[in-house]
Amino acid sequence: MTRIIWNRSDNPTTYVSDALGIERWQLRVALHKLKGGSYLGATDPVIVYDDGRVTDIDGGDIGNILDHVQGR
């Protein structure tokens, strides 16, 4: 069962990148791509799950961070 590791509008902390096993810069780049592809702005809140899945605040699927991580 997946669990939520982030559900705020501010920038995710190092805790989130550590939980996903990636660098913080990789998290920022991947979230930027996912949000941009879903027409969300930088301050729009998203929900990040411990498997890398990201949804908007209404539960709509945005994608998976791990699919957009460079250098993996």
Please check the confidence at residue 66 and state whether its pLDDT lies above 80: yes
pLDDT tops 70 at residue 58: yes
Per-residue pLDDT reduced to its tens digit, 4-28? 999 987 888 899 999 999 999 999 9
Q: Which amino acid is at 52?
A: G
5's tokens: 């590791």
pTM, 2 dp: 0.90
Dihedral (CA of 43, 49, 52, 55) sign:
negative
Q: What are phi and psi of 48, to 5 degrees?
A: -110, 130
Report the phi/psi class of residue 71: left, alpha or beta, with left for phi > 0 and alpha for psi in -120 to 50.
left
